[in-house]
Amino acid sequence: MVFEIFRQEKKGQPFAHAGSVEAPDAAFADAWAREQYGRRGESEALWLVPRASIHAITEWADEFDLKYRRVDGYSIKTRLKEARERAGTTPSLDS
């Protein structure tokens, strides 16, 4: 079985994928993950997730090339400023 290992570096931080461990069962995965990802005090906590339990999404349909739904190249900063000026609600630096 392959277990994907997620590591939390400090309390309150999000868990991030750290790597994987191949083990015959969960008990071996526990022993091996401790040694591989925790023995230098580098982890606050670990999550061991059987790879089979992960629902992955890797394919995306965009048949109609709906570019207008994307924001790349669209500078919202300038447009927002213009809109605010038109509406007279430009945030003042003093307030």
Partner 1 sequence: MNERAQLLLSIADDELILGWRDSEWTGIAPTLEEDVAFSSIAQNEIGHARALYELAAQELGTDSDALAFDRDPGEYRCAPLVELHLLDWAHTIARRYLYEEADRVRINALMHSDDAELAGLAAKIDREETYHRMHAELWAARLAAEPRFRSAVEELWPFALGVLEQELRPDLAQRVGLDVVAAHERGEHTPELAELWNVMTEVRRSIPGAQW
Residue ranges binding partner 1 (CB under 8 A): 21-24, 27-28, 30-32, 34-36, 39
- Using the minimum distance from each CB to partner 1, give the nearer residue, 30 or 44: 30
Q: Which DSSP string corresponds to 71-89?
A: -TT--HHHHHHHHHHHHT-
**Rounded to the nearest whole angstrom, what is the least distance from the CB of residue 67 to partner 1 in the complex?**
45
Closest by CA to 43, choosing from 5, 93, 92, 88, is: 5
Query: In the complex, what is the shortest distance from the CB of residue 15 to partner 1, in angstroms, rounded to a whole number?
Result: 20
Q: How far apart are CA 13 and CA 44, in angstroms?
A: 9
Return the number of the residue (8 or 36) whose C-beta is nearest partner 1: 36
